């Protein structure tokens, strides 16, 4: 989690973002350097490499940013949505779609929106971090200043 000038900013740790970039480069490197050795694998391998890079880049860019004017932008893996404070009814920890545990926004229209940047496969050791993220989002919703602990 990183903090910036915004009242709320949840992002992947720096080491996760760096690892994602290194993973993408390592995955693409063989297709770029050894393309002539295996021409029959160039097109399918290149397509797979591009898909992996797109997924890794999008995952690294996942974030939740709340601004002082009351907008919360949730950048998930495959979508980006902006909510107003008044659009959000509640914040909690749930298991969306059976993938893992994550912070979820319950919206006024009754729908739920998971925050991918908070997703974790196991609840046990990550419960404290998820609870801290929920508290930060609730503080932003109420307009309270954040603690940067």
pLDDT in tens, 11-54: 887 887 788 778 777 877 776 676 555 666 667 777 877 787 77
Is residue 104 domain-shared with residue 78, that is, in the same domain? yes
Q: Is residue 115 part of a domain?
A: yes
Buried b (16+ CB within 10 A) or exposed e, 102-140: bbbbeeeeeeebbbbbbbbeeeeebeeebeebbebbebb
The pLDDT, as a whole number, for residue 59 is 76
Q: Which residues contact residue 4 at a Cβ distance below 8 angstroms, ignoring those fewer than 6 apart?
A: 65
Distance CA 107, CA 37 (A): 53
Over residues 1-18, the mean pLDDT reads 72
Is residue 39 domain-shared with residue 105, that is, in the same domain? no
Is residue 73 domain-shared with residue 24, that is, in the same domain? no
Is residue 82 domain-shared with residue 132, that is, in the same domain? yes
Q: Is residue 74 part of a domain?
A: yes
Structural domain containing residue 26: 14-60
Is residue 103 domain-shared with residue 43, that is, in the same domain? no
Question: Given 6, 40, 60, which residue is the final one in a domain?
Answer: 60
The pLDDT, as a whole number, for residue 55 is 76
The pLDDT, as a whole number, for residue 32 is 67
Is residue 23 domain-shared with residue 68, that is, in the same domain? no
CA 80 and chain centroid, separation? 10
Number of compact structural domains in the chain:
2
Q: What are the start-end ranges of the E strands in 14-147? A: 63-66, 71-75, 80-84, 88-94, 102-107, 112-114
pLDDT in tens, 89-142: 999 999 877 778 999 999 999 999 999 999 888 777 788 999 999 999 999 998
């Amino acid at each position: 989690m990183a903090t910036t000038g915004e009242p709320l900013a949840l992002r992947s740790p720096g080491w996760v973002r760096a690892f994602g970039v290194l993973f993408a480069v390592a995955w693409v490197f063989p297709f770029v350097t050894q393309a002539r050795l295996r021409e029959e694998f160039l097109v399918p391998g290149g397509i797979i490499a591009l898909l992996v890079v797109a997924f890794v880049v999008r995952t690294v860019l996942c974030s939740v940013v709340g601004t002082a004017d009351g907008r919360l932008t949730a950048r998930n893996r495959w979508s980006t949505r902006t909510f107003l404070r008044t659009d959000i009814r509640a914040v909690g920890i749930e298991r969306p779609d059976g993938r893992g545990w994550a912070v979820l926004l319950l919206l006024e229209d009754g729908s739920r929106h998971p925050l991918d940047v908070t997703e974790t496969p196991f609840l046990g050791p990550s419960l404290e971090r998820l609870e801290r993220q929920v508290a930060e989002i609730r503080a932003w919703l109420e307009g309270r200043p954040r603690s940067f602990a």
